[in-house]
Amino acid sequence: MAGVFDIELHEGDSINQDESDQSDDDIVESREDEYNHTTSVNSILQSDNLERVQLSEENVNAGQEKTGPQDFELCKILGEGGYGKVFQVKKVTGKDKGSIFAMKVLRKASIIRNQKDTAHTKAERNILEAVKHPFIVNLMYAFQTGGKLYLILEYLCGGELFTYLDREGIILEDTACFYLSEIILALQHLHNQGIIYRDLKPENILLDGEGHVKLTDFGLCKEHIEEGTVTHTFCGTIEYMAPEILTRSGHGKAVDWWSLGALMFDMLTGMPPFIGDDRRKTIEKILRGKLSLPLYLTPDAKDLIQKLLKRQVSQRLGSGPDDAEQIINHNFFKHINWQDVISRKLEPPFKPSIKSADDTSQFDEQFTATVPVDSPVESTLSESANMIFQGFTYVAPSVLEEMCAQPRVVNARSPRKGILNTEFSGNLHSLSARSPDTHLRTASHFSHQHRYFQP
């Protein structure tokens, strides 16, 4: 299989490059007096003064730690999807021996059936490497075998924000303000890197052991989105999707602020703002339904939700060049010290009840009670197909720095229950289910969300 992907052009993109726009790397200055035309390559190779070294894994990229499945002990299953599983694992080798991580395993054969799935998987890995932020999950390692891709992520023992919201039903505005402030800074950082998140929802927001937020699952992100450019891919989770994604009229970073408004409404009322009896009716309500706000919400909360859920993108808070700053300066956050937020100095309103670093009590027992097995791959890809994933391997800088530091020897009932009941991915017009699932989530995600991806 050839490594060819669809190229999605954005408005404002140009396929022609003016000579004046060439980078310095494209310009090579030639000076005849610096090159000896009489030198023979053969004479250099035959010289007795050359040291000959056999190339091997031991002397090529020797500073990079070699990791593989054998370096991790499977502890628990945290989630499962059509393309693979998420495990809790323990590192059994190296300087970080004994550390607990989450290991996301993806089957190559399932991914490469669709070029868009392949492109999004590679984009997720690249984004995780490039983006480092207090409220975004950290990628520690990435490696591959003949049939699988492995992403080793920090283990977030607090579980999903969805679990907490599902248990509480609704939360106070001060509590919502805490979570929203950390999420806003994470989205702002992504936007500053030219990335749209496009799948903001409670299932994709994890809590660490202290109760702080971490965004995860970057499979639907879009890279290289600058101010004024739009993309047209139909993807996301229906209940949190912005109207411009549903209509495929072209969307930019403002879709994340619509999703933030939907999430805020969900936190304060117990369900997303636009819910129908089926997917078509939900979409119809998102496009044309009236926004009804409970009387118990404060004026500031109502105003922020209304401004985030504007169907006209130009009127939506955060849609301008100031992006997150418009939201940060809203009166709903008037008591927030944003420097304290980014420094993680605010006290989380909920601290997960964790007994140890490897505690899995905040995850669904449907998975954690199952014996963890990394199933063998039925078939191995051809060499040409495997070339698609060239460059997937990664070791976090923090791990490399540690290696270099020392000599290296080679129960209230939630109104959410029963509302969002099935996750789908496929063609909007046919509204048919597609399995397998593109990216991994835990059990609650499989049973509560309509997630779409249409190239």
Opening angle at CA 264, ends 124 and 171, nearest 5? 115
**Residue 91 DSSP one-character state:** E
Q: Give how far Cα 19 sits from Cα of 16, 25, 236, Å.
A: 10, 13, 39
Q: CB under 8 Å to 437, separation ≥6 — which residues?
A: 81, 82, 83, 423, 425, 446, 451
Beta strands 100-107; 139-144: pairing state: unpaired
**Residue 450 DSSP one-character state:** -
Q: Is 104 annotated as a binding residue?
A: yes
How far apart are the C-alpha atoms of 158 and 397, rounded to whole Å? 25
How far apart are the C-alpha atoms of 233 and 250, rounded to whole Å? 8
Residue type, 284: E
Q: CB under 8 Å to 36, separation ≥6 — which residues?
A: none
Enclosing H/E stretch for 235: strand 234-237
Q: Which of 71, 117, 199, 323 is catalytic?
A: 199
266 annotated active-site: no
Beta strands 148-154; 100-107: pairing state: antiparallel
Per-residue tokens: 27:
């310009």
Nearest to 374 by CA among 150, 93, 153: 150
Opening angle at CA 61, ends 56 and 66, nearest 5? 85
Residue type, 128: L
Nearest to 5 by CA among 121, 151, 108: 121
- What residue numbers does the annotated binding site for ATP cover? 104
- What residue numbers does the annotated binding site cover? 104
Residues marked as catalytic: 199
